[in-house]
Structure 1
């Protein structure tokens, strides 16, 4: 599905194929698991007995035992991995075209994963059934509880094979889904009192304090969240996105497209032609780093290269789909804080 056909896509399709910068957290890969690079080996062994979890749809899942045959959206599996819970089956962007780990796979060894669908709207139901899953876990980007990357055409078949759990990343600040993912990991056996996890949470809190201070000291610095496709440039609004809502609450000054311009995408973002990419002035541009989008170094449009923030080298990465572990969210907060601290006023 080409990004260039975005005008004909549903909102879910736009979100998945790179048009929805309004989604989630900026991600820069950073450490993971224990000191040897893997998760805490003892985590899963600590969970036993009946399992109950009430998810963000208000759905309570009850099983006779703590699930070990877990299938999860790749980004969710990556977050659980950071908490010591290894998920064997995944769906969503996992491997790039050259077989390497997608940015959303975090620190997982993708060669060891069973992938039921690597792209949007692909999900091998027969393979999933043979896997005999005990639970499916994903995020939801709407208030209806739609499971992210579970295809509409096969969702009913998938639902019959195992119960599902959803963590909402819709219209809330980053700290809420982070806490919910931690609670989910704990229910699955993670030792959330371990030094590794408490240290990561403390680093996240310190980074947030740094960003708040930077935003307060540089209120004139304007930040734009963008995403690139072949035909269009997308400018995200801060509403609905877990990272942008959080950054805005910390005082960051964002470019905010009018609601009328975001109406066609359900309030997420405004679509601009490359000729109009200079519609908004910005000192810093945060660019979608997902593999489904064009990365800044590969943008050939002359209008992009003439933007003051681009010419000043003030472009940083952002991942609109979060890996919801404190460890993975620290660098994105720190990167924005550093960018604001060091930015030249160019808009």
Structure 2
């Protein structure tokens, strides 16, 4: 799998890179999630089971205490209070300078074993050495676990049960709720002030974005990613955060010629101006080109949103937790409130 830069979620095709609710509401939510998955998860002692979004059931004699997770999964679980069971991670954990990658969120990766830092880097020997009891990952398309190499998945799955949480083509609340349910099954206290306060902030931010979008009707927004050869226009019908933004009223441009998986349209730089956007949400992941990298491209400089200085960072793989997503909603609400028509 080639390294950066990449389009949003292009690993899916193996062609590019890769109101506040309170404790009672959270309890009701988790009950609903458990019923939906048919789970009989015990936080302490006794048999432990959890049914994931692939319809697969992990069953253990006791709750797992040694969890290895994709960095995005680890970040979500950590935000919900799973801080003592994650022993290893894989995926973008550290940047080239050795600092934590933004995708790890609050996870203290320096204290964990990193078994791979990029797509295709999954050290099975290190994984086995961790004596894993559970593997957790995102699922974007079909039943494939994100960042688990297809050529070695059978060896990996033979070492421990795995769980996949759907993070593609569903609205943002769904993966947040499912990670909350899994965190509760792993012993996290979802009534903890940190969790309930984060949920309150998330709900408030969602309403702020809804109000901003209503007030700024007609403002066109394009979610995109840049690579040396291509400009990728993302489909708001597939990315979970974009689906939610659209539900809240943000006028996101829908590309008309998307790739096979439906996540984005590939545009040559000569055609980068196909969609006239007032605001560009630009993929901010380390593997994608940033504004400073794109400045030398005339086609980029000519885009109305670029000329207007209305290019803002976008994380196509948000932390699927209330704490991870609340700031994203707040920032987008501010952008929508203050941006001008540019296209």
Q: Secondary structure at the match of 2:59?
A: strand
Aligned residue number for residue 121 of structure 1? 120
Task: Summarize the Cα distance change of 1:138–1:169 in structure 2 as closer, same or farther, 3 Å threshold.
Answer: same
Aligned match of 2:57 in 54, 57, 60? Answer: 60
Asked if structure 1 preserves the Cα contact closer than 8 Å seen for 2:5 and 2:226, the reply is no
Q: Structure 2: how far apart are the matches of 1:265 and 1:273?
A: 17
Q: Deviations over 1:198-229 (max 9, x none)?
A: 11111111111111111111111000001011
Cα drift, residue 14 of structure 1? 4.3
Superposed counterparts of 1:162-201, under 5 Å: 162-201=160-199
Q: Deviations over 1:118-175 (max 9, x none)?
A: 1101211111112110000001001x21111000000000011000011001211000
Gaps of 5+ in 2: 19-42
Q: Secondary structure at the match of 2:194?
A: helix
Q: Structure 1: how far apart are the matches of 2:247 and 2:269?
A: 30
Q: Structure 2: how far apart are the matches of 1:246 and 1:134?
A: 33
1:72 aligns with 2:69: yes
Aligned residue number for residue 232 of structure 1? 230
Q: Secondary structure at the match of 2:14?
A: helix
Q: Structure 1: how far apart are the matches of 2:183 and 2:12?
A: 30
TM-score by length of 1: 0.86
Q: Structure 2: how far apart are the matches of 1:76 and 1:108?
A: 10
Aligned residue number for residue 320 of structure 1? 316
Q: Structure 2: how far apart are the matches of 1:105 and 1:5?
A: 19
Q: Secondary structure at the match of 2:281?
A: strand
Aligned residue number for residue 333 of structure 1? 329
Q: Structure 1: how far apart are the matches of 2:91 and 2:6?
A: 20
Task: Summarize the Cα distance change of 1:63–1:207 in structure 2 as closer, same or farther, 3 Å threshold.
Answer: same
Q: Structure 2: how far apart are the matches of 1:207 and 1:48?
A: 38
Aligned residue number for residue 35 of structure 1? none
Aligned residue number for residue 280 of structure 1? 275
Q: Structure 1: how far apart are the matches of 2:52 and 2:168?
A: 14
Task: Summarize the Cα distance change of 1:133–1:11 in structure 2 as closer, same or farther, 3 Å threshold.
Answer: closer
Task: Summarize the Cα distance change of 1:241–1:4 in structure 2 as closer, same or farther, 3 Å threshold.
Answer: closer
Task: Summarize the Cα distance change of 1:2–1:128 in structure 2 as closer, same or farther, 3 Å threshold.
Answer: closer
Aligned residue number for residue 47 of structure 2? 50
Aligned match of 1:223 in 221, 224, 233? Answer: 221
The aligned length equals: 314
Aligned residue number for residue 292 of structure 1? 287
Q: Deviations over 1:85-126 (max 9, x none)?
A: 131201111011111111111112221121111110121111
Q: Structure 2: how far apart are the matches of 1:167 and 1:216?
A: 32
Aligned match of 2:300 in 297, 300, 304? Answer: 304
Q: Structure 2: how far apart are the matches of 1:204 and 1:4?
A: 30
Asked if structure 1 preserves the Cα contact closer than 8 Å seen for 2:225 and 2:282, the reply is yes
Aligned residue number for residue 78 of structure 2? 81
Q: Deviations over 1:216-256 (max 9, x none)?
A: 11111000001011111100011121001111111111111
Asked if structure 2 preserves the Cα contact closer than 8 Å seen for 1:3 and 1:230, the reply is no
Q: Secondary structure at the match of 1:88?
A: strand
Cα drift, residue 16 of structure 1? 4.1
Cα drift, residue 13 of structure 1? 2.5
Cα drift, residue 49 of structure 1? 3.3
Asked if structure 1 preserves the Cα contact closer than 8 Å seen for 2:3 and 2:118, the reply is no
